[in-house]
A and B are shown apart, each in its own frame.
Chain A
Amino acid sequence: MSTTTTNPSHRSVLSPGTQAPDFTLRCTPDQSVSLSELRGRPVVLAFYPADWSPVCGDQMALYNETLDEFQAFQAELVGISVDGAWCHDAFAKHNKLHFPLLADFEPKGAVARAYGVYDEKDGTCERALFVIDSDGIIHWSYVSPTGVNPGANGILSALEDLRTKSETTAAAK
């Protein structure tokens, strides 16, 4: 067991304005995806503790139903947990997910650590959301209590805000 504090603070969570650390993770047993490949449009990173746990199922199932809303902002959604690619594959098929699940599996939790959302005590990702702008800068982040499905509203508000910001910037040019 880890000796880390039982009440993990979120001080280390990467905050808005920070460059989102690049990563390359498996999205299927034989394919990988890098964050930098998604540059040019907003990216939503949804870290979650585990495939198959009921709340996670709800959260990913909910995002699966809201993909049209994310796509209206040209945003790319990816789920990330420490489960392996084969586990993700079975989970995604079972829930008919239409977005990629990335395996933060080897070294375990490295990407979650880089974003400051690794739960040392449980050895899983925390339930954390990041909205990254088209230049790869973190625009919004949110860490939910592990047992609480954060829903999609915060993500959609952040994407709206991002669009307003880019329109304002474009108008000022």
Chain B
Amino acid sequence: MSARIPLTLPDPERDHISGSADGLIRLLEYGDYECPFCAEVQPIVKEIQRRLGDDLLFGFRNFPLTNIHPHSEHAAEAAEAAGTQKNFWGMHETLFENQGALDDDDLAEYAAGLGLDETRLIREVTASVYAPRVREDFKSGVRGGVNGTPTFFINGERYDGPLDLKHLLSALTFQST
């Protein structure tokens, strides 16, 4: 694994980021598209992004638990493939919103719905083009102290508190002051 990846901070050079690269509050999530807790927290993350605006730099890395979540690996690779077609976040949201339907056929349908080249996306997923990238995310998480999903790091520190808006928001704003 590349030792250059910051394990607990979003890296604008490498990661899928949202918000402002200059944001002083840096939030990194390690997640799994088939994990129910990750799907539950997704609207909370969106609300945090809405409230903190440009103060926030948000990054997402894949942490699929592929044995208990058999669709999680292809879902992660589909998001990466969508990222190559410049719509990582569109696919990211679609996958969490449709967590119960993550077969390859579903992935193709979501790609088409987002106006992406679905044939290319499925070809890349089937050929495991993004598997090394997903594994690199996973390994950085393991070495950073991720112990389940979702795991959040706020300005590099693992957040172990409750996953509700109030607690997350107060941890984020406390960290930044």
Contact = CB atoms under 8 A, between A and B. Distances in A.
A78 interface: no
Which of A58, A65, A148, A156 is most buried by chain B, counting CB atoms within 10 A of its CB? Answer: A65
B138 interface: yes
Interface residues of A, number: 20
Given A96-B67, A96-B68, A97-B67, A65 B145 contact: no
Given A62-B148, A65-B67, A148-B160, 4 more contacts: A61-B65, A65-B64, A95-B67, A151-B145
A148 B147 CA distance: 9
Pairs of residues from A and B, 7 with the lowest C-beta to C-beta distance, nearest first:
A151-B147, A149-B147, A96-B67, A58-B148, A152-B142, A64-B67, A61-B68
A153 B139 CA distance: 10
Interface in A83-112: 95-98
Interface of A: 57-59, 61-62, 64-66, 69, 95-98, 148-153, 156
A86 to B, nearest CB: 21
B66 interface: yes
Interface string B124-159: 000000000000001100111111100000000000
Chain B interface residue bracket vs A: 10 to 19
Given A58-B147, A58-B148, A59-B147, A153 B142 contact: yes
Interface string B58-72: 000000111110000
Label chain B's interface by main secondary structure: loop
B67 A61 contact: yes
Interface in B58-97: 64-68
Interface of B: 64-68, 138-139, 142-148, 160
A162 B64 CA distance: 28
Contacts of A151: 142, 145-147
A69 B147 contact: no
29 contacts: A61-B65, A61-B67, A61-B68, A62-B65, A62-B142, A62-B147, A62-B148, A64-B65, A64-B67, A65-B65, A65-B66, A65-B67, A66-B142, A69-B139, A69-B142, A95-B67, A95-B68, A97-B67, A148-B147, A148-B160, A150-B147, A151-B145, A151-B146, A151-B147, A152-B142, A153-B142, A153-B145, A156-B142, A156-B143
Nearest to B149: A58
Nearest to A64: B67
A95 B65 CA distance: 10
Contacts of B145: 151, 153
A149 B142 contact: no
Nearest to A97: B67
A69 B141 CA distance: 13
A96 B68 CA distance: 7
A70 to B, nearest CB: 11
A12 B145 CA distance: 27
